[in-house]
Amino acid sequence: MERMNMSARAYDRILKVARTIADLEACADVLDHHIMEAIAYRNSTAPPTWATICKSWFSYLFSVKKLKKHSFN
């Protein structure tokens, strides 16, 4: 927190966003790249573009399809 010069509230919000990103990827744990992506969203001044939203959505759909393919049911 001190190295990045952020408050405890900002740190908490980054962790919440990282948890959401991990959930969208159907990942049980919050990994480093989830935290980095959450920080990138926080530091971004412009709203996400439509292309970024579509890329995230298709990535999510692909991961769900991959999980269904490898399920043990």
pLDDT, tens only, 12-57: 988 999 999 999 999 999 998 888 888 888 766 656 666 667 777 7
| Structure confidence at residue 26 (pLDDT) | 92
Residue 6 has pLDDT above 80, yes or no: no
pTM of the full structure: 0.56
How many CB atoms neighbour CB 21 within 10 A?
Answer: 21
Residue 70 has pLDDT above 60, yes or no: no
| Structure confidence at residue 23 (pLDDT) | 93
| Structure confidence at residue 28 (pLDDT) | 92
Are 21 and 36 a contacting pair, CB within 8 Å? no
